[in-house]
Chain A
């Protein structure tokens, strides 16, 4: 394009003096003419340009918030808590996928074997337990060293992450329940699961969280699986009302123990 805006016109446009149709004319031309664009650009102080550019660079360098982090923030969690919680390995896609794989296997088994529903009832409650075990601990959590060294209650972090992890993995297990035959019985794993989770949290006062979770899951599931292999009537036990009551009592007892824990209470008081 051979037509260009005069220097004078550019100057009065940049300072904001130029008004009305004349300013509109400059703007329309500037959209299509690189030469006049750079003439207009000269009207901005270099410091202002540099300042905004360094802010752009900072933001471009910052890691984007993960999907989990955004969900947690939408649910009302503070940004810092959301980042700490979403660093839990068992909230990562790979973990959730492997948990889903366990559940898919359990659903498949329950549909193809006569004792399949029992197998599902044994495996479903330990899925959230294992997920909690994978949420915090040396060698598992990439942010472990940082979180140990920072003035942030460990128990609060464990609880926040456990809640998020149980919500995610429990949801997966519930969805899986829909595909298990024998209808309403399949919800029978919920109370045992709650009991196992609260036992895990209590035990984690003496052992690391991954170890506690693995131990509790093994102590619960291995005898049942062995009994199932020996063709004992495990289903009857798992669906019995007394087991549900025992599970409820255990859950309530452990949660009561936890809430009397001074560390936990201080963690809960930290309401930021």
Chain B
């Protein structure tokens, strides 16, 4: 899991080999992508055992469906799309409220370095996002960043689809005000 030297085949090429039934290529894809997927899914589901199962399912799905990758866009984003939808399916099968990760909390310590870094990347947007209520921010994160539909976001967060839409609308209004 060290850095990927430029001499190694790119993800898309590996995925083509996986589609041809190359197990070693699948192992390489796994070692490049399973780690961040575990962490990212773990931030959205409080049950590590379930996250492990979902990641397992995801790479079995990658093995069987590697041929469906169109070659457009990042392989990582493609894998994330599979993984987050598998997580939603798993949560639907065992719908327990405690499985959904706690909504992000305010007040985490920010180092000076981070302030500078985020200032460069987002400007006021970072602050504005952080000032959103946890409910609104979770909706923005699921739909904008995780690329989920409102129905999928609702299932992930355990709220009705209509609520996702109204919260998204409210979040957009708050952000527009803050950034104006």
Contact = CB atoms under 8 A, between A and B. Distances in A.
Interface in A7-45: 8-9, 13-14, 16-25, 27-28, 30-32, 34-35, 37-44
A219 interface: no
Nearest to A29: B121
Interface string B27-58: 10011111110111011000000001001100
Q: Which among B36, B125, B126, B129 has the greatest number of chain A C-beta atoms within 10 A?
A: B36
Interface stretch (A54-62, A147-155, A169-177): A54-62
A30 B40 CA distance: 10
A64 to B, nearest CB: 8
Contact of A6 (B108, B113, B122): B113
A1 interface: no
A75 interface: no
A49 interface: yes
B41 to A, nearest CB: 11
A4 to B, nearest CB: 10
Contact of B32 (A16, A17, A34): A34
B179 interface: no
A38 B32 contact: yes
B60 A49 contact: no
Interface residues of B, number: 50
Main secondary structure of the interface of B (DSSP, over half): helix
B94 interface: no
B1 interface: yes
A31 B83 CA distance: 13
Nearest to A33: B76
Nearest to B130: A20
A14 B23 CA distance: 28
A23 B36 contact: no
Q: Which among A31, A42, A48, A55 has the greatest number of chain B C-beta atoms within 10 A?
A: A31
B1 A38 contact: yes
B34 A60 contact: no
B1 A59 contact: no
Given A13-B39, A56-B63, 10 more contacts: A6-B117, A14-B39, A20-B129, A24-B129, A27-B40, A31-B80, A41-B31, A42-B1, A44-B38, A46-B1
Interface of B: 1-4, 11, 23, 26-27, 30-36, 38-40, 42-43, 52, 55-56, 59-60, 63, 74, 76-77, 80, 104-106, 108, 110-111, 113-114, 117-118, 121-122, 125-127, 129-130, 137, 141, 145
